[in-house]
Homo-oligomer: A and B are copies of this chain.
Amino acid sequence: MVNEARKELVFRRGEVMSREGEPINSFMYLREGLVKLYKTNIHGKDQILSINIPGDFINLLSIFSTTEYKYSITALEETKVCEVNLDVIKKLVKSNSKFSLRLLNRISYISDEVIQNHFEINQKQVKGRVAYFLLFLADHIYKSHTYRMPVTRREVGELISMTTENTIRTLSEFRKDEIIGMDGKTISILDYERLVNIGRTG
């Protein structure tokens, strides 16, 4: 049943996959690539909720609470998504309690992560926030101390709630202090311990 209803979609870097306010009519599983979930405020500024990676059900947080997207989703790089019609999923939930328990676990876990993340960011100041994000990319996304940042400095700021200028300034400072190496978008963490310490204490 699910197999028949499945559709494969490819999005290019920068493409908006779904927009705040639009009706939700599919369940999206991220196969390849990277996406951002974000909300645009009344001043036209974006706040990024999360960055999602392959294996994530990228719109799971919304589909059971509302019929319209509360956040927009944009591809940060070439992204492949597996879409399943939402009605099919909802029928499956009704008929298959194992499936719904798995969804319950998953949705619970995701919301925990988002909230936890928000708390962490909130109690840190600029340096701690940038350190936290650099470590998030190293530990959670790329599993490497050297990586190419998938977002602009502005987007980093939108994720950790600070201005673009202060984000750039803080990165420059980390470079000057030889905590990181930086070549355009390529970051290499030179002093992991120190970064962890900055990320922990704020």
User: Residues of A with Cβ closer than 8 Å to B?
Assistant: 39, 41-43, 45, 47, 49, 61-66, 70, 90, 93-98, 100-101, 103-105, 107-112, 114-116, 118-119, 122-123, 161, 200
Q: Are A64 and B108 touching (Cβ within 8 A)?
A: yes
Q: Are A70 and B112 touching (Cβ within 8 A)?
A: yes
Judged by DSSP, the binding face of A is helix
Cα of A177 to Cα of B126 in the assembled complex, Å: 33
Cα of A93 to Cα of B45 in the assembled complex, Å: 41
Chain B residues whose C-beta falls within 8 Å of the C-beta of A49 in the assembled complex: 115, 119
Sample (14) of A-B pairs whose CB atoms are under 8 Å apart: A47-B123, A61-B108, A61-B112, A61-B115, A63-B108, A64-B104, A64-B107, A70-B112, A90-B101, A93-B97, A94-B97, A94-B101, A100-B104, A122-B122
Q: Are A47 and B122 touching (Cβ within 8 A)?
A: yes
A114 with B115, Cβ < 8 A, contacts A65-B105, A98-B94, A107-B104 known? yes
CB-contact partner of A112 in B65, B104, B105, B119, under 8 A: B65
Which of A93, A101, A105 has the most C-beta atoms of chain B within 10 angstroms of its own C-beta? A101
CB-contact partner of A103 in B43, B47, B70, B104, under 8 A: B104
Cα of A161 to Cα of B124 in the assembled complex, Å: 11
Q: Are B66 and A123 touching (Cβ within 8 A)?
A: no
Cα of A123 to Cα of B43 in the assembled complex, Å: 10
Q: Are B116 and A70 touching (Cβ within 8 A)?
A: yes
A105 with B39, Cβ < 8 A, contacts A49-B115, A70-B112, A98-B94 known? no
Q: Are A62 and B112 touching (Cβ within 8 A)?
A: yes
A114 with B111, Cβ < 8 A, contacts A47-B123, A104-B64 known? yes
